[in-house]
A = this chain, B = another copy of it.
Amino acid sequence: MHAFRSRLGGLAYGGDYNPEQWDRATWREDVRLMREAGVNLVSLGIFAWVAIEPEPGEYEFGWLDEVMDLLHEGGVSVNLATPTAVPPAWLTQLHPEVFPIMEDGRPLGLGSRQHFDHASPVYREYAANIVTRLAERYSFHPALAMWHVNNEYGPTSYSEAAADGFRRWLRRRYGDLDTLNAAWTTSFWGQVYTDWNQIEVANVMGVWMNPARRLDFRRFTSDSLLECYLAERDILRSFRDDIPVMTNLMSFYPHADYWRWAPEQDVAALDVYPDPGDSESHISTAFHYDMFRSLKNGQPWMVMEQAASAVNWRDVNLAKEPGRMRLGSLQALAHGSDSVMFFQWRAARGGVERFHSAMVPHSGPDSRTFREIADLGHELSLLAPVAGTTMRCADVAILFDWNGRWGLEDTGWLPRDDFDYGEIVLRHHRPLWKHHHTIDVVSPRSDLAPYKVLIIPNAYLIDDEGVAAVTEFARAGGTVVMSFFSGVVDECDRVRPDGYPGAFRHLIGAKIDEYWPARPGERFAVRFADGRTATASWWREDIHLETGTALARYADGPLAGRAAIVANAYGSGRVVYFSTLLDDAAFHAVLLDQIRMAGVTDPFPGLPAHVECTVREGGRNEYLFLLNHSPDVDVAVPLDRSGVDLLTGAAATEEITLAPLGAAVIQTTRVPDSAV
């Protein structure tokens, strides 16, 4: 990435570029407009397999050579894509087994995209070939700055090839059938396997299916997709190893465990599409940004795709109001991104995504969108010093775990069936964001030592290593904040023995006798030790305190008098456990109390919640990002240091005023304690 960063000399700016949809005259116009907009990087050829290899073994590189040269002449670097997300029609005609088999048993057909079976040896062979040809031809092209492998890996397949792959994967994981039978609890309902070939992938029963098999099929699919990525990456590296290789990921994506993927990428790259119809989407976006910074331990990451305005795949696709796209882009930088990239450069005339916005929309350069794009390009050039800088490790970490998510959402038949892992995690993040805490996102394998507080949203499924890590974190003095229905099952979805929560009974100092989900619409009261009450809903637990003490107790209903929130000292640390879903205000208050008690100070006290503040550091400088997410009010932010607002070039001292949706990026000389 160092060479890549030097090459760009600043932040990356650009988008997906599909010249195969346009004529030569448009190419030249494109490069002209790219220069006008300050674009310095495009992702090229993502779906261009058939354009490059129109018949098996016949290659047409001419057009691509020309585009690469044109871009290079125009000063635009290329993130060159392997086009393996879309096998050509001739390939599926020749080898129909390349089509993935959907959950209902039918093969996916032509006319869409990502119609490849990740487990198909034929697909993998043809993909390796086209990647090799591309690498042969372009590895040393002067425009080449990065390799973009495939696109949004995710297609799942229930094919015979997938079944073969699954059985091989299971053999590696379990060794023998006895172990597998134990892991899957096949003694329940008499499902014992006596031959590896009895194991199927079809999922005709929906949630009536063995939950451990569902879990493992999730894991296998993620791993098999990753094999596809690795095969391509290794080919590319075999030609030249100083060009970064990545594939674009999608944050809360269910089909791939990004904690396993990130180490294999040279940079974490995010496709992000906040809904303009959601007035708090910038808060969840902040979490996604923090996750992508965390995926590779704080290294600068990339926004690889976002929308210039509306998308085309929601029920109602709202346009982004003026200033919203700019603010969201600066927000990415504020969370450690070194790029602002879009899907797509120029709006397509036809196809499924013809109404997806673009940097150059259907209405052409004389449009609100292109003007905002060009303005942003100029601003990003002013922010060049930010490139390569990083953010300090946060004090507070939030656990996000694909295995935990699959356990909660995909195994089925839990005490209630409407857990939404993403929403649960965001509910824990929201109060922190509103108090200007930048957080890190961690997995059960992360190094937890640097953190003061570890927040564990409903961790229904957590493996032994994860349990040990959390336990050690608390023992060593950390504060753990944990939500209900955590620590219930092991990595095979087996209920941990000796009473709930088997994994964390020692940590929370209490045994849970029974889960008591609340009926729809039911609300009930909890009373705190100081007599104040709050309302709660959705879930209850019948808690029997052991070493723990009650911060609050149920005040009515069948569990009246029992502990609702438990605090427990553990080792040098402290654990707080919520057994119910408190209403927001009370939940936020208790959560923030715990964070303060853990010695984490409010980073920007007195600042309105809608102003986001973060700091990047590099060399002798700091960069204070101030973002006003209110579309209605301006806000005066007091400053405790002097610097220069890079966006305006103006000196910033004592106070700076942010317009609605306004922002400032204040460069200061580094001081030990940064505060507004």
Contact = CB atoms under 8 A, between A and B. Distances in A.
A111 B210 contact: yes
Nearest to A202: B109
A197 B93 CA distance: 8
A351 B198 contact: no
A557 to B, nearest CB: 9
A187 to B, nearest CB: 4
Interface stretch (A42-50, A223-231, A546-554, A598-606): A42-50
A414 B558 CA distance: 45
B495 A349 contact: yes
A391 B411 CA distance: 46
A218 interface: no
B316 A102 contact: no
A277 interface: yes
A504 to B, nearest CB: 14
Interface in A611-645: none
A494 to B, nearest CB: 4
Give this chain's copy count. 3
A212 interface: yes
A239 interface: no
A112 B514 contact: no
Contacts of A108: 204-205
Nearest to A99: B204
Nearest to A45: B190
Given A189-B112, A319-B515, A363-B500, A493 B51 contact: no
Interface residues of A, number: 111
Contact of A194 (B50, B185, B207, B542): B50
Nearest to A194: B90
A48 B86 contact: no
Interface string A514-535: 1111111000000000000000
B198 A354 contact: no
A388 interface: no
A470 to B, nearest CB: 21
A352 B191 CA distance: 11
A558 B189 contact: no
A132 to B, nearest CB: 19
A192 B54 contact: yes
A193 interface: yes
Contacts of A88: 190, 192, 194
A187 B350 CA distance: 9
Contacts of A47: 188-190
Given A18-B188, A21-B188, A198-B110, A352 B208 contact: yes
A415 B317 CA distance: 5
Given A20-B187, A194-B88, A355-B413, A109 B495 contact: no
Contact of A351 (B50, B211, B414): B211
A202 B108 CA distance: 9
Interface stretch (A305-313, A581-589, A664-672): A305-313
B347 A495 contact: yes
A141 interface: no
A353 interface: yes
Contact of A188 (B316, B350, B511): B350
A107 interface: yes
Contacts of A203: 109
A321 interface: yes
Contacts of A514: 309-310, 319, 357, 361, 363, 367-369
Interface string A84-118: 00101110110000000010111111111100000
Given A93-B198, A495-B347, A499-B363, A213 B517 contact: no
Interface in A384-431: 412-418
A322 interface: yes
Interface in A478-512: 489, 492-495, 497-500, 511-512
B500 A352 contact: no
A322 B192 contact: no
A364 interface: yes
Contacts of A191: 50, 86, 89, 110-111, 113, 351
Nearest to A55: B194
B209 A348 contact: no
A201 to B, nearest CB: 9
Interface string A424-453: 000000000000000000000000000000
A318 interface: yes
Given A184-B350, A513-B368, A520 B316 contact: yes
A200 interface: yes
Contacts of A18: 187-188
Contacts of A237: none
A194 B361 contact: no
Contacts of A208: 111-113, 352
Nearest to A54: B194
A497 to B, nearest CB: 7
24 contacts: A21-B185, A48-B190, A50-B192, A51-B190, A86-B190, A89-B191, A89-B192, A89-B195, A90-B194, A90-B195, A109-B205, A110-B191, A112-B205, A188-B351, A188-B352, A188-B354, A316-B519, A318-B516, A318-B519, A349-B497, A350-B493, A354-B489, A361-B513, A362-B495
Interface of A: 18, 20-21, 47-51, 54-55, 83, 86, 88-90, 92-93, 102, 104-113, 184-185, 187-195, 197-200, 202-205, 207-213, 277, 309-310, 312-313, 315-319, 321-322, 347-355, 357, 361-364, 367-369, 412-418, 489, 492-495, 497-500, 511-520, 542, 558
